[in-house]
Amino acid sequence: MTPTERAERAAQAMWSTDEASKWFGMQIDAVGEGWARLSLSVAPHHCNGHLICHGGVIFSLADSAFAFACNSRNQSTVAQHNSISFVAPGKNGDTLMAEAREVSLRGRSGIYDVTVTNQDGETIAIFRGMSRAIKGQLFEE
């Protein structure tokens, strides 16, 4: 099995039970070893009292991309610590894309950077996630 095939199978296994990401309206655009790209079309129910995309929705999109990236090797992995900086607002009607990339993987700990952009390529947020591998796999190999 190639690394890309493993990442795709791991993503399928996770997606099958990931009700939260589906509930938000996210979709997986692409995955590979150590990276993932997810997207979300911002609808009125994603917006806050300022009529911009709620920060928690943006965080959730980035967090889900991070999750698919750090589980791409079929090693069960969870978040240890995450942070986000909001750069510009997401707006109703925007398509937000979160691309997660592995920065470091040492033993059971990983670091991933996620950039959230809109359909025009404008940076909306920058997220950094620290992961920790736990026992188990997403599918049998």
**66-94 confidence digits (pLDDT tens):** 999 999 999 999 999 999 999 999 999 99
Domain that holds residue 110: 3-133
Residue 140 resides in a domain? no
Residue 60 resides in a domain? yes
Number of domains in the chain: 1
Q: What is the pLDDT of residue 85?
A: 98
Residue 4's Cβ-side half-sphere holds a number of Cα atoms within 13 Å equal to 1
Alpha carbon distance 54, 52 (integer Å): 6
Residue 77 resides in a domain? yes
Residue 141 resides in a domain? no
Distances from the Cα of 114 to the Cαs of 1, 23, 47, 141, in angstroms? 26, 21, 21, 28
Residue 119 resides in a domain? yes
